[in-house]
Structure 1
Amino acid sequence: MRLQGKTAIVTGAGSGFGAGIARRFAAEGARVMVADINGDAAQAIAAEIGGLAQRVDVGSGESVAAMAAAAEAGFGGAPDILVNNAGITHLPAFMEDVSEADFDRVMLVNAKSVYLTARAFVPGMKAKKGGAILNVASTAGVSPRPRLNWYNASKGWMITATRAMAVELAPFGIRVNAINPVAGETPLLKSFMGEDTPEMRAKFLSTIPMGRFSTPEDMANAALFLCSDEAGMVTGVAMEVDGGRCI
């Protein structure tokens, strides 16, 4: 029960890595707000773990502000933990062939959302003199894959933002870290690969020394440590949870 008495918000928690993190946090004693653009998926996970459900578009300032208000009402204050997990990619393509609309959408969801949630939740964490923020970045931000150029760039932005946030917020007792997953069995996997075939899976797996995709449980274990008091001296870290891909 390493998160006993803590409150947490996990975005993109209706499926994939976010759902795994929400489940683990709840199992460790946290009261979790399951936030997702798919309201039905958020409701299902929240019902499973006894948490709060919130439909949110993390790229909309108005929607993020509504999530903050709901958290204030549901938790009685700012959350102890914020996990910026919601993310999106564009389909594999040469950089010049990615549409402007797809570029804007990737940057909105993967980058601007971190600014919007910081604007909404950092003041409350400062008032509490503590908190933990976890950004779910990617190995793509460290070791980019060809034809995912603007997705790679958005995750590199997130890693730099994590370090910048950590330096600025450390005097207020707020820790900010990131995890860098390798491709996993989530709804985004097909988008990364372009097509989900045995041949394409084998090609992706050949780049991961441990020979398997990551799982929501892998991410949940890393997230639990970084957001718990056990990591009280850890901030500004972008932890690779990647089976050795970035070595």
Structure 2
Amino acid sequence: MSLKDKVALITGSTSGIGKAIALKLSSMGASVVITGRDEQRIDEVVDECRQLTAGGDGQQTTAIGVCADILLDEDINKLSDTVLSVYGKCDILVNNAGVYRLAGFGSANYMDTYDEEMKFLRSAQLLTKLLTQSLIDSKGSIVNISSYYDNPFPLALANNINKVCTDMLTKCLALELKPNGVCVNSISPGLISTPLVTNNPMLSKWVLSPDFIEKIALRRVGRPDDVANAVAFLVDDKSAIITGLKLAVDGGH
């Protein structure tokens, strides 16, 4: 598979799944745009991407970093403008940025948690809207990172709602953009070992327990590379017939 001459923007790409996606697409020859709120981490991922070679021919990949808060409209506009001004196009958009907050419906902070979750859904729509014409021009691909946790899960109501909406966004965009040749799919990761999990003591104790892992058919926790490989498949020209798909990357949970 090769993504030579393709431009890919991955939100939330300074760590975990987003970083793995950026490195994977870069290794396949794509020019990648790294974005997040931490300039140092952005620079580190950009450097890693630039050190990769595509196709075994020694050609260095192109990578740029854009410091942006994906929850601010002005930053989303800046991000879109930068991609189009630097590269003149966007072929691949991966909406990966998000959070995972635990709050029961009866808790005092539930509505704040809900509002935070839904801001990420809104930001994905705004960024997609700004880049839609470019994606149409290139007959590109959109991949939305959803979650296994679109199923009911204790204390995760706000996140569950967000992910269900993300999958519906995927289906609606796939329907609307299919006459233009744009493929829109979502990936539904199961339990993936990322800082989001390992740095949360309550969450990691819960989901990394033997009882939880026993429910996974392959009996192992996923890796960010597992998700990155799935993204690589969906944005490659060889899968150009696939759209409106929700692809589970969950070990058979």
TM-score (norm 1): 0.91
Match of 2:118 in 1: 107
1:138 pairs with 2:147: yes
Equivalent-residue separation in structure 2 for 1:40 and 1:177 (angstroms) = 31
Helix, strand or coil for the counterpart of 1:194? helix
**Where in structure 1 are there 5+ consecutive unaligned residues?**
none
Query: CA offset at residue 37 of structure 1?
Result: 2.4
Query: CA offset at residue 74 of structure 1?
Result: 1.9
**Cα distance change of structure 1 residues 198 and 63 upon mapping to structure 2, 3 Å threshold:** closer
In the comparison of the two structures, how many residue pairs are matched?
Answer: 240
Equivalent-residue separation in structure 1 for 2:142 and 2:117 (angstroms) = 21
Q: CA RMSD in A?
A: 1.8
**Cα distance change of structure 1 residues 99 and 25 upon mapping to structure 2, 3 Å threshold:** same
| Structure 1 moving runs of 4+ over 6 Å | none
**Where in structure 2 are there 5+ consecutive unaligned residues?**
51-62
**Cα distance change of structure 1 residues 117 and 233 upon mapping to structure 2, 3 Å threshold:** same
Query: CA offset at residue 209 of structure 1?
Result: 1.5
1:99-140: per-residue Cα shift (whole Å, max 9, x none)?
A: 32222111112x1122111221102223x1511000000011
Q: Summarize the alignment of residues 199-238 of structure 1 with structure 2, pairs less than 5 Å apart.
A: 200-238=208-246
Equivalent-residue separation in structure 2 for 1:212 and 1:42 (angstroms) = 30
Contact in 1 for aligned 2:113/2:158 (Cα 8 Å): no
Q: Summarize the alignment of residues 55-204 of structure 1 with structure 2, pairs less than 5 Å apart.
A: 55-75=67-87, 77-91=88-102, 93-97=103-107, 98-109=109-120, 111-126=121-136, 128-141=137-150, 143-190=151-198, 194-197=202-205, 200-204=208-212
Match of 1:18 in 2: 18
Contact in 2 for aligned 1:90/1:191 (Cα 8 Å): no
Helix, strand or coil for the counterpart of 1:146? coil
**Cα distance change of structure 1 residues 134 and 78 upon mapping to structure 2, 3 Å threshold:** same
The letter for the 1-side match of 2:35 is A
Equivalent-residue separation in structure 2 for 1:36 and 1:104 (angstroms) = 20
Equivalent-residue separation in structure 1 for 2:203 and 2:160 (angstroms) = 19
Equivalent-residue separation in structure 2 for 1:5 and 1:129 (angstroms) = 11
Helix, strand or coil for the counterpart of 1:130? coil
**Cα distance change of structure 1 residues 30 and 89 upon mapping to structure 2, 3 Å threshold:** same
Helix, strand or coil for the counterpart of 2:124? helix
**Cα distance change of structure 1 residues 243 and 65 upon mapping to structure 2, 3 Å threshold:** same
Equivalent-residue separation in structure 2 for 1:206 and 1:192 (angstroms) = 21
